[in-house]
């Protein structure tokens, strides 16, 4: 075959593409279990951080399984339903009507074993992409014990500050039930107050849209848990 001809060039390119494509596919398949394990470990780390438990990469899995001794799924009526809490796609569930959602709950002991916290996931939209997090509630079903938030691509120094303790620590001690009403914590501009009587935290200076996204995320994702939290409170 004439190596200078078009036919040889086309065949060579096709073979090269097939070989490289097969190699990349094989590499992706081989690395998939490790990638999933890393993603699961990071999710465990975030859940624990919402309960104010810090870990290292080496002990996060062991700590999670030691402290998170129960995981289950509830519906909007507070009833347990079939499902794997850890595997629930919160991003998809957050878009469904409240009555149709699967709502994961993670029950975490404090390191001294003296108390149990009920951790629920939240998911929403920031300025540049998705934001998400976890909120830990005391056994009274109302008092926020801790919170953790993360983002995919918010602006460093502005919206990205939702991932910093300076923002999430504000949620500690806030309550979800006031005067018999369920009121998720509001996020408002620093120095302002919400129109209602709900508890609130200061938003990120210069990150108005991301802050509003966190507030909307909490309202959308915590509201379906109202009956579940009310049952704990009662």
pLDDT at 37: 80
pLDDT in tens, 125-150: 999 999 999 999 999 999 999 999 99
pLDDT at 111: 86
Question: How far apart are alpha carbons 85 and 54 in whole angstroms?
Answer: 22
Outline where the chain has alpha helix (H).
6-50, 60-67, 90-93, 165-168, 208-222, 226-233
Question: How far apart are alpha carbons 152 and 155 in whole angstroms?
Answer: 10
pTM of the model: 0.85
pLDDT at 76: 97
Question: How far apart are alpha carbons 89 and 232 in whole angstroms?
Answer: 24
Contacts of 110 (CB under 8 A, 6+ apart): 51, 53, 67, 116, 117
Indicate if the pLDDT at residue 2 is higher than 80: no
Query: CB count, 10 Å around CB of 99?
Result: 9
Q: Is 123 strand, coil or helix?
A: strand
pLDDT in tens, 18-72: 777 777 777 767 757 667 788 999 999 999 999 999 999 999 999 999 999 999 9
pLDDT at 6: 67
Phi, psi of 34 (to 5 degrees): -70, -40
pLDDT at 22: 72
Indicate if the pLDDT at residue 121 is higher than 70: yes
């Amino acid at each position: 075959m004439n190596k200078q001809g078009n036919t040889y060039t086309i065949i060579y390119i096709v073979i090269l593409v097939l070989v490289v494509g097969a190699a990349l596919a094989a590499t992706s398949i081989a690395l998939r279990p490790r990638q999933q394990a890393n993603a699961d470990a990071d999710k465990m780390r975030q859940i624990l951080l919402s309960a104010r438990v810090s870990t290292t990469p080496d002990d996060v899995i062991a700590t999670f399984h030691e402290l998170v001794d129960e995981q289950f799924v509830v519906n909007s009526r507070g009833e347990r339903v079939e499902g794997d809490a850890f595997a629930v796609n919160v991003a998809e569930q957050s878009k469904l009507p409240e009555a149709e959602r699967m709502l994961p709950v993670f029950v975490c002991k404090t390191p001294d074993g003296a108390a149990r916290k009920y951790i629920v996931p939240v998911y929403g939209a920031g300025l540049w992409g998705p934001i998400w997090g976890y909120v830990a509630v005391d056994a009274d079903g109302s008092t926020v014990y801790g919170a953790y938030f993360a983002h995919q691509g918010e602006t460093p120094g502005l919206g990205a500050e939702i991932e910093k303790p300076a923002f999430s620590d504000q949620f500690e001690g806030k309550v979800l039930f006031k005067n018999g009403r369920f009121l998720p914590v509001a996020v408002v501009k620093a120095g302002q107050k919400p129109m209602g009587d709900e508890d609130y935290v200061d938003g990120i200076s210069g990150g108005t849209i991301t802050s509003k996204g966190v507030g909307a995320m909490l309202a959308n994702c915590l509201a379906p848990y109202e009956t579940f939290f009310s049952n704990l409170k009662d």
